[in-house]
Each structure stands twice: as structure tokens, then as C-alpha cells.
Amino acid sequence: MGYGTGYKTRFEKRDRMLSAFVIGGGVLLLIWRFYSGALTPDLVLKAYALTVPLFGWLLAADYPPLASRWFWKAMVPVFLIHSVVLYGTVEATVYFANIGVKLPVRMVWSFIPVAVAFEYFLSLRLIRSFNPEERQEKPQ
């Protein structure tokens, strides 16, 4: 039988602090979006909602030491895929704003978690495919 000491490790404290900064930044951008009628806050908030969960929360646990060369080779396609998704989101937002169509909010914001999940699983596959330890054949 185990017991809990209530002691928090540095990782858990760092993770909680990171979450507070991420959520705080999102709330500030959301307030800016609500009080501005311009297109820029909407674009910035969507880019933030696509980028921060992926690179700040989800992939952070899979980052190896920064000095590993294979990791940076894996990050190039990850950054390219993320750039394509971000570009598509920005272009769609600008297109619908220019033609004067207001899409349903639930439809627009339901795309973001789906895109983040797709990018996350694809990024994990790419990172693991470049990992030299994962690529070596394991004895059966």
C-alpha cells in the first residue's frame, strides 16, 4: 500500500505554470477578439489556438535533448505541416471575411481541435521515425 506525500516535483510545478501562461495568453487574446471588430484579433487567436496546444502542451513531453541532431531533422517536416495548416486557416478566415459570410462559431472552432489532434499524431509518427533508437531493429 502506498501513500501520498503531497510533494510536487519540479516537472509538475513547471507544467502547472506553463498551463497558467498558456490559458492566460488565450484569455487575453479572446478578450481582444471580443472587444475588437477587426480581422487581426481573430487571425491571431486562431493561430494561437493551433500552435500553443501542439508545441506547448502535446509535443513538449516528446522533446528529446535539444542537442540531438535527429530531432531537428524531424522538426523540419513538423514545422512544414503546421505551416500548411496555419496558412489554410488564415486563408479561409480572410476569404470568408472578404465575401461577407459569417460562419457558425461552433463550426469554425470545432476545426481547431481536430487539426491539432491530426498534427499531433502525424508529428509523433515523424519524430519517432527519425529517432535512431526507434529505427533500430528490435530482436524478436
Please report whether residue 140 resides in a domain.
no
> Does a structural domain hold residue 112?
yes
Is 138 domain-assigned? no
Range of the domain at 113: 10-132
Q: Is 58 exposed, middle or buried (0-12, 13-18, 19+ CB in 10 A)?
A: middle
**pLDDT one-digit tens code per residue, 10-55:** 456 667 777 888 888 888 888 988 888 788 888 899 999 999 888 8
- pLDDT tens digits, one per residue of 98-131: 998 887 778 888 989 999 999 999 988 888 888 8
**Does a structural domain hold residue 94?**
yes
State pTM to two decimals.
0.76
Structurally, the chain folds into a number of domains equal to 1
1 found inside a domain: no
Domain presence at residue 21: yes
- Is 103 within a domain? yes
